Amino acid sequence: MTCKHNGTETYYVPRGFSHREVEVRCGNTNPFGGRAICDKCAANPAEMRRIQQHEQNIKADNYALRSAGWGEM
């Protein structure tokens, strides 16, 4: 579920005694395992509701799969 604006977010990932910059497109997984959300999407209440609903659906699917013994997808 990527963004309509093709927005990106910049993350600073620790590397040695410094860091490196990683740009991630909105909607993709960030380097820390969460979802990258650009500023335009974060400011749009309807878009945030859609993202939260999608996250809840993912959580429910994973719960059903785990309870059936399949593990997560």
How high is the pLDDT of residue 72? 72
Report d(CA 38, CA 31) in Å as an integer: 15
Report d(CA 54, CA 46) in Å as an integer: 12
How high is the pLDDT of residue 3? 75
Per run of 10 residues, the mean pLDDT along the chain (length 73 residues) is: 77 94 92 92 93 93 90 74
Handedness of CA 29, 6, 57, 12 (dihedral sign): positive
**Structure tokens of 37?**
């959300």
Report d(CA 42, CA 39) in Å as an integer: 5
Q: Does pTM top 0.85 for this prediction?
A: no
